[in-house]
Amino acid sequence: MQRRLPFLALLALSTTALAQTQTQTPAPATDPNLYLEDIHGARALDTVKRWNARSLAALEAKPGYARYRQRALDLLQADRQIATPDLILGDQVLNLWQDKTNVRGLWRVASLAAFTSGKPVWRTLIDVDALGKAEGKSWVWKGATCRSPSYDRCMVALSNGGGDAVEMREFDIPSGKFVADGFVVPSFKTGLNWAGPDALYVATDFGAGSLTKSGYPRMVKRWQRGTPLAAATVVTSATQDDVGIETSVFTEGARRYALVSRNVDFFHSTRSHVADDGRLVPSPLPDDAEINAVLDGRLIATLASDWKGVPSGSVVDYAIADVLAGRAPTIERVLVPTATQAVEQVDSSKSVLWVKMLDDVSGRLVSLTRAADGVWTQGVVALPTASTIHLDATAGKDDVAFAMVESFLSPPALYAVRPGAKPVTVDTLPARFDASTMQVDQRFATSKDGTKIPYFLVRKKGTTGPVPALVHAYGGFRNAQTPTYLVDQPYRSGPAGLFWVEEGNAFVLANIRGGGEYGPRWHQMPLRENRQKAYDDLHAVGDDLVRTGVSAKRKIAVSGRSNGGLLVGVAMEQRPDLYGAVVMGSPLLDMQRYSHLSAGASWIGEYGDPDTPADWAFISRYSPYQNLKRGVTYPTPFIYTSTEDDRVHPGHARKFAARLEAYGDPFFYYENPEGGHAAGADKIEDAKRAALVTVYLNTQLGGAVNR
């Protein structure tokens, strides 16, 4: 089947779009820190450099920093790694390989048969480091969208500095070269799919009038080879008030199934099938359903709300041919999860549907096949229990899928799975640390409204008495937080969690509402005016750690990135009595301005619209930038972001730091010059951040080794 990039336009605005949005909506003139929204402004960067210099000088001088950084780098760049199947194209496997020599990576190809046997012979297609050096760019790999069934050409996406904006170029796999006079789409948050062997569906910045008010592509065009992009023909358009528009293309053999989605907000889209003659035929699905895959000409989707007697969270399907012919399709139930289960990912191979699920936040993988009478039969793949499962890739010409399995204490292992057969181990990593001294417990805290909130607790065996605890959480956008090997957790500050546990402290992963741990309802409970429920959940976990003697007040650190950065920003202000440290990564903090900064306009469905008085009434109760008060003893936060974060504007972090400074409150601040929303373009930068976080925690909480 055709593989495609996610809709990057939903993630961030371009510089042009950002400028348009900010011009349309002037910021409050009373804010003295507005200059910090000028991303590359000289005054703003001078302030950032001052904070960086002061914070790095203090943290890098702390005991153990150099040792932590080197060990983190050794762990993250270990020679022994698992080559993941990033894409399966026919009988080929594509992979991006990164190590200490190839920091930005080698994009390479091997045969599917050799890969499955565990003995692949790789052929390098693109050396990303060498390409960047030759072109004078800081290229970061962002994936590829490849055409099928020929499996010979791909549109590769490269970001200069790691942001979401990508330049897309056509690449020929057999020759291992970029295509001379091939398709090229200039840098933007472009949505792109193959419309045929010599045509693309493109949603990008086509110039004046081509963006929505939010700054995203307003139109999809079909671009034929041999013609300029400016001559591409419009397929359809969104309205100025929509968030944006995108296409999805699924292939089965030579048959291509295309859909267009007009995104009303982050969670609602009106979708239409594209008929062979170019007609747009509406899909009968509700606008909050998630499109997953196509199998045997049937569209597979997951419901976010109850529909036609089918409960939310269920997987359903219908025959695309019926819709295109103007017939009302029969909606079939493919899988209905229980109250403790959630569907996380759905994909198809040649004749099998694969569903990755959670059951009380523990992973499971099932295979489903459809009989002629429309009945789906389910089989559970015998993978290790009490683990996190990642469905890495599926094959379009065979019924094989690849699943990575890991837990906090078990290193990742890659399996090739087939329906009804015992999984075959393709590769497994050796242990990176001594897990025999540690234990993991799953516990449940009780939130303010009585809801049971699960969390995982990792600490050394035999630990008694309260110890410092690091709690990581997210709580938004239906993104579940599941256990991963303590070595490689870049969004949780990498190996910092491992160092923390090894030295006698506690690491906690909290599964608060807003994520997808228990399906759509778990996500929907704290939306908009109910946002406080997510914050109450986090506080409940912290209070439970104190109540059960795991930790003590002011000995608990909270960590979060992006929406999680908002979460911990609220936490430090609402419960300064409970938390003693705050790791605030790529954060949303000025919720009065968020919808006018970078990608913020697309998140109104999650938070509400601050420009609407009724919405601002509830947003204003928790917005960290507006609720910071003079004279309160807050925990000293460690704030980090990236200058090139074009998803969550660095102005959030900057302005919050500036207000702390104006109030005389201490803080640590580090803004990486590149790296995009990940705040790190490679593992060297991830290792540095892990060391900074570790010495920061030791400084603020004492750390078990320093007690």
Taking the C-alpha atoms of residue 368 and residue 49, their distance in angstroms, rounded to an integer, is 55
Q: What is 156-194 written as a DSSP string?
A: EEEEESS-S-EEEEEEETTTTEEPTT--EEEEE--EEEE
Residues 6+ apart with CB under 8 A from 371: 377
Taking the C-alpha atoms of residue 162 and residue 556, their distance in angstroms, rounded to an integer, is 32
Residue whose tokens read 């008010």? 213
The CA–CA distances, whole Å, from 56 to 53, 561, 653, 667, 685 equal: 5, 20, 16, 12, 14
User: Beta-carbon neighbour count of residue 560 at 10 Å?
Assistant: 30
Contact of 139 with 127, CB cutoff 8 Å: no
Residues 6+ apart with CB under 8 A from 496: 72, 470, 690, 691, 693, 694, 697
294, two tokens: 């196509």
Contact of 287 with 305, CB cutoff 8 Å: no
Contact of 592 with 31, CB cutoff 8 Å: no
Active site residues per annotation:
562, 677
Taking the C-alpha atoms of residue 328 and residue 318, their distance in angstroms, rounded to an integer, is 10
Instruction: Name the residue among 163, 100, 96, 104 with its Cα closest to residue 124.
Output: 96
* The residue type at 405: V
Phi, psi of 178, deg, nearest 5: -65, 145
Contact of 523 with 517, CB cutoff 8 Å: no
585, two tokens: 């990564």
Phi, psi of 694, deg, nearest 5: -65, -50
Phi, psi of 512, deg, nearest 5: -75, 165
* The residue type at 555: K
For 241-352, where are the E strands, in sequence order? 244-252, 255-263, 269-274, 280-282, 290-295, 298-302, 315-319, 332-335, 341-348
Contact of 161 with 180, CB cutoff 8 Å: no
Contact of 201 with 249, CB cutoff 8 Å: yes
422, two tokens: 């015992």
Contact of 697 with 581, CB cutoff 8 Å: yes
Rounded to a whole number of angstroms, the distance between the first and last alpha carbons of the chain is 56
Q: Is 53 exposed, middle or buried (0-12, 13-18, 19+ CB in 10 A)?
A: exposed
The sign of the CA dihedral 375, 380, 386, 392 is negative
Taking the C-alpha atoms of residue 535 and residue 567, their distance in angstroms, rounded to an integer, is 7
Q: Is 497 helix (H, G, I), strand (E, B) or coil?
A: helix
Instruction: Name the residue among 596, 594, 577 with its Cα closest to residue 656.
Output: 594
Q: Is 696 helix (H, G, I), strand (E, B) or coil?
A: helix
Taking the C-alpha atoms of residue 350 and residue 347, their distance in angstroms, rounded to an integer, is 10
Paired with 220 in beta bridges are 236
Residues 6+ apart with CB under 8 A from 432: 75, 78, 411, 485, 487
Residue 152, H or E segment: none
Q: State the number of CA atoms in the 13 A half-sphere of 354 facing the CB.
A: 27
